[in-house]
Amino acid sequence: MLNNPTILFVQFMNGLSFGLTLFIIAAGLTLILGVLRVLNFAHGAFFMIGGYVTFSLVNWLPASFPGAFWLSVIGAAIVLGAMAWVIERTMLRRLYDRDHLPQLLFTFALVLLAEDLVKVAWGTSVLSVSFPPGFKKAVDLGISYYPSYRLFLCVIGTVIAVALWYVVNRTRMGRLVRAATQDREMLESLGINVGRIYMMVFVAGVALAGLGGGLAAPATSLTVGMDAEIIVQCFIIVIIGGMGSLPGAFLGALILGQLNAFGVMLVPAFELVLIYLMMVAVLMFRPWGLLGHKEVQ
């Protein structure tokens, strides 16, 4: 098996596709954790709702409507962003100055509410979304054929990573976000509305989760409770890469994706163990993450 370059290439691409899809979701969690300092356990639930909203919009739009799937994915991100705006404005902003425990309890309550919402609105049956037109075939990459939609996930994940890096490092809003992360009081003394920045970051982070849910819908099955696995994987990515580091989240997602792909192939019984061993190794030797920064008290 290891001597077959075609199998190794396909597994590498599977890991790349899976990792970059996870990055889209984990990037939102990284932004919220890095700027708001909120451990958002509901992030996986937002991903799940994004997938279900995409399913509903795809079935609501006429089958002959051009770009129905893509509009549905964008619609899911908008719906989740609007939901995040309501949550932040009415509840979450009251917890910014509290300890982590109230934040954890609040986001865990959101998880329970989200699961009940999904059961009421969509039931408990397993649902699926068809691949968009033009992405139902495989592409010849020379070494092997590979599904075109998974290849698209690799491309869109990279594009989103570059776009986020540019916004955070090359725009005025990105500078304000980084400043709010480092010294909120100083930024407020300069007349900047930090509360608005926090709101925009939370909305953007949740919208990314919804976008990831919509994009992942054709490649997975929509089931109640699918948020539990995704939130664990996202937190592992954040821990490996570094708290609040977008480049770290990108690197962590790539590592987790390859561990998942090759672990399933080589040691299927211990595939999950490899991921947790990687996380433990990082915590032991570099607890602030591979690309994170050690906080100075």
Span 158-170, mean pLDDT? 96
Residue 62: pLDDT over 80: yes
In a domain? residue 269:
no
In a domain, 84, yes or no: yes
DSSP, res 294: P
The answer to whether residue 290 is domain-embedded is no
| Predicted TM-score (pTM) of this structure | 0.95
Residue 107 near residue 39, CB atoms below 8 Å: yes
CA atoms of 52 and 236, how far apart (whole Å)? 24
Average pLDDT of the chain to the nearest whole number? 92
User: What's the mean pLDDT in 54-59?
Assistant: 96
- Domain assignment present for residue 189? The answer is yes
Is 39 domain-assigned? Answer: yes
Q: Residue 164: inside a domain, yes or no?
A: yes
* pLDDT value of residue 264: 87
Contact at 8 Å (CB) between 80 and 66? no
Mean pLDDT computed over 267-296 = 86
Does residue 76 carry a pLDDT above 90? yes
Question: Predicted confidence band at 1 (pLDDT cuts at 50, 70, 90)?
Answer: low
- 7 domain residue, yes or no: no
Domain presence at residue 275:
no
Share of residues in the chain with pLDDT > 90 (%): 78
**Interval 20-36: pLDDT, tens:** 999 999 999 999 998 99
pLDDT at 121 over 90: yes
Tens digit of each residue's pLDDT (9 = 90 or more) over 106-116: 999 999 999 99
> Is 19 within 8 Å of 257 (Cβ atoms)?
yes
CA 228 to chain centre: 13
Is pLDDT at 266 greater than 60 in this prediction?
yes
Instruction: Copy the structure tokens of residue 197.
Output: 């920045």
| Structural contact between residues 30 and 194, judged by C-beta atoms closer than 8 angstroms | no
For residue 130, the enclosing domain spans: 17-225
CB atoms within 10 A of CB 206: 31
Number of domains in the chain: 1
The helix/strand/coil state of 297 is coil
Percent of the chain with pLDDT over 70: 98
What pLDDT score does 182 carry?
A: 81
